[in-house]
Amino acid sequence: MLYAGGDLAKLLRCYSRDYPAGRMKRRGRHTIAILAVSTTFVACMRMIPYSPKLSVPIETIHQRIHKVCLEPLRINVRIDDVESRRQSFEGQMEEQLRRAGFEVAPGEALEEVRRRVRAEEGGFYNPHTGRRDEDRYRLIQRRELDEVHRVLGCDGVLTAAIVAVTAPFGKGQIRWDGYSAGYGGEYQGWTGALSLHVRLYDLSGDEMLFSAGGIQPLSSVRRGSFESYFEHADPSDLLANEYTNLRAIHFALQPLISR
C-alpha cells in the first residue's frame, strides 16, 4: 500500500466526511495503491457524468430565455489569486453567452437587487431559533425573481461553481466532464479533479439545465523507486491555465451556445 499526505485537503472546502479517496491499480497485477489524502479532501468529491441534464427541451430554453442574470462564480476550492481567476471565468462566460446571442446582466447587478429586497423584507431567519423560515425564504425568493425580471429584464438566472469531483482514468487516459488527456500510464482507477458546474433557472426558480466542463486533475501519477504514487497539483497551478479554463467553460455552456 502507498499513502500520500493530506496537504491537498487544505485547498478544498468540504461538507461531509464519508466519501472514499482516490485509488489506482496496475492492469494485469494485484498491486493496489490508494491515495489517502484524508477524509476532509475527498468529502466534497462527486462523480458527475458529462451529459448535460435538461429539464425542458433545449429549444424551449432558447425560446424563453433571451437575457440571463449571471450569478457571481462560486469557487469551492482554495486557490491562489482567487479574485483574479473568478473575474477571468466570469468574463469568459459572459463573452461566450453574448456571442451566442444572449443578453447578460452581471453578478453585481443581481446581488444588488437581492440585497435591496432582503433589506426591505427584513431577512428570512427566525430571530428566536436562528433557523431559516422556509415560508419567508420562498416568499423573498419569489420577490427577488420578480425584481430581477422587472429591474434587470432577465428571463433566467445562471449559476456557476468550480467544484472538486472524481475522475476515472485507465489505458493511459483520464476522462470526465468533457475533459480527456494522457494520464496514469499502465495504471487505472480514479482521482480528484476540478470541474465547472452551471445551472440555469427560470423565474419560477425551477432548474432548466445542468451541465459541466472538466478543468484539470488535482494530481498526477509519478513513478517512484519501487511503486508509483500520486503527486498533488501545486496550488499556484490551479485554474492558472487559460486554455483549459476556456475549454471547460465551452463544454459547460455548450448546450446553450450551440444553436
DSSP states along 173-230: EEEETTEEEE-STTEEEEEEEEEEEEEEEETTS-EEEEEEEEEEESEEEEE-SSSEEE
pLDDT score of 227: 66
Q: Tens digits of per-residue pLDDT, 99-119?
A: 999 999 988 999 999 889 888
The CATH architecture that domain 44-217+234-257 belongs to is: 2-Layer Sandwich (3.30)
Residue 160 vs residue 18, higher pLDDT:
160
Q: Tens digits of per-residue pLDDT, 148-184?
A: 999 999 999 999 999 999 999 888 889 999 898 888 7
pLDDT at 61 over 90: yes
pLDDT at 42 over 80: no
Q: Which residues contact 257 (CB under 8 A, 6 or more apart)?
A: 96, 97, 99, 100, 250
Radius of gyration of the chain (CA): 21
- What's the mean pLDDT when you consider all of the chain? 79
Residue 85 vs residue 16, higher pLDDT:
85
Q: Tens digits of per-residue pLDDT, 63-105?
A: 999 999 999 999 988 888 889 999 999 999 999 999 999 999 9
Q: Tens digits of per-residue pLDDT, 221-242?
A: 877 666 667 788 888 889 999 9
pLDDT score of 3: 29
Q: Where does the pLDDT of residue 6 fall: very low under 50, low under 70, confident under 90, or very high at 90 and above?
A: very low
pLDDT at 29 over 90: no
